[in-house]
Amino acid sequence: MPSDPSPVLNPLQPAALGAAIPTTSEFDATKARKQSTLIIRRFFRHRLAVAALVVFLLICAFGFLGPLIWTVSVEDTTSRGYLPPSGAHPLGTIQTGKDMLAQLIVGTRLSVQIALVVAIGSTVVGVALGSLAGYLRGAVDSAISRFTDLMLIIPQIAVAAILVRALSGSWYTVAFILAAFAWMQIARITRGETLSLAQREFIEAAKASGAKTRWIIFRHLVPNMIGTITVNTTLAVATAVLSEAALSFIGLGVQSPDTSLGLIISENYSQITNRPWLFWGPFVIIVLLSLAVNFIGDGLRDAFDPRQTKVRA
């Protein structure tokens, strides 16, 4: 491609942008490189982000594969309450006599599930509404933007708490409720990006060749915003973990028989002085989880947009 007499950047093929940066040796410059390969390579060069990814995968493994190794049932209440850590209960038992480690495994799994559902759900809704508003403009834009403003004026935690009380405290209800009030941010960002992208020539070309709105949005607009979208999704995961914790803490989030890291913390925080392991266990997991996701988001941002690279501590 560099030998092309008129090196016009073809926006339909964003790989051209990456190819213009001489990141690799001359040797494999001859190979066709996809943009995704470049991004993945850049991400893996970000050591902290890779470490964060490993931590995130370990936490997921703890939650999802943990029950295979630690077979004590969460529901088993035969032990006495508040036993100190021992061989039978590495993290002791909680007030009702349930095993803390088993609780943590289930809580981690459900917290991760909630966070992923919230992140993916809010991203899908936000991107759909934001790109529609930005691309169609006019009345559709006004309607969607005003609706977004409206949703933003009521605190998410209050509405979510009211709905959880009205519906139920199972993990998926909490996840869907949180997702229903988390898409506004990404909708605004997507709308802004779409507004500027829609002015570009390749969109005009697509329109001229008779592409339908849906085609333009999903084949031309969304792929060009994928960096912003991915970074915001990872940030939404971290926010969702923290929102769930806050909601469960005030007693209007996940409820028994389901459990979550937030619920475990709220049930055990009064024991921080007498039985510190009951508090610090879920605390460490929840902080590691949101730290890891934030670092992954940082790494992805640098990988998608190398101009913004900022090495950080």
Q: How far apart are CA 132 and CA 251, in angstroms?
A: 37
- Assign 190 to helix, strand or coil: helix
Q: How many beta carbons lie within 10 A of that of residue 196, not counting itself?
A: 9
**Residue 157 interacts with another protein (CB under 8 A): yes or no:** yes
For the chain, the distance separating the N- and C-terminal CA atoms, rounded to the nearest angstrom, is 38
**Residue 309 interacts with another protein (CB under 8 A): yes or no:** no
Q: How far apart are CA 221 and CA 309, in angstroms?
A: 24
Q: How far is CA 92 from CA 86, 95, 154, 176, 308, in A?
A: 6, 10, 41, 33, 47
Q: How far apart are CA 240 and CA 255, in angstroms?
A: 17
x-marked contacts with another protein along 158-197 as a string, rule CB under 8 A: xx-xxx-xx------------------x------------
Report the candidate in 32, 20, 95, 35 with the shortest Cα–Cα distance to residue 226: 35
Among 110, 264, 290, 304, binds another protein (CB under 8 A): 290
**Residue 291 interacts with another protein (CB under 8 A): yes or no:** yes
Among 115, 225, 238, 296, binds another protein (CB under 8 A): 238
CB neighbour list of residue 19: distance below 8 Å, 6 or more residues apart: 1, 2, 33
**Residue 287 interacts with another protein (CB under 8 A): yes or no:** yes
**Residue 234 interacts with another protein (CB under 8 A): yes or no:** no
Q: How many beta carbons lie within 10 A of that of residue 248, not counting itself?
A: 28
Closest approach, Cβ 279 to another protein, in A, equals 7
Q: How far apart are CA 43 and CA 240, in angstroms?
A: 23
**Which window, 6-14, 35-43, 224-232, 246-254, contacts another protein (CB under 8 A)?**
246-254
Closest approach, Cβ 312 to another protein, in A, equals 5
**Residue 88 interacts with another protein (CB under 8 A): yes or no:** no
Which token pair is 281?
A: 């266990």
Closest approach, Cβ 114 to another protein, in A, equals 14
Number of residues that bind another protein (CB under 8 A): 45
Among 242, 277, 305, 306, binds another protein (CB under 8 A): 242
**Which window, 59-67, 102-110, 117-125, 265-273, contacts another protein (CB under 8 A)?**
265-273
Measured from the CB atom, the residue of 1 and 54 that comes closer to another protein is: 54
Among 7, 24, 142, 146, binds another protein (CB under 8 A): 146
Q: How far apart are CA 248 and CA 265, in angstroms?
A: 9
Question: Are 157 and 246 a contacting pair, CB within 8 Å?
Answer: yes
* Interface with another protein (CB under 8 A): 146, 149-150, 152-159, 161-163, 165-166, 185, 238, 241-243, 245-246, 249-252, 262, 265-266, 269, 272-273, 279, 283, 286-287, 290-291, 294-295, 310-313
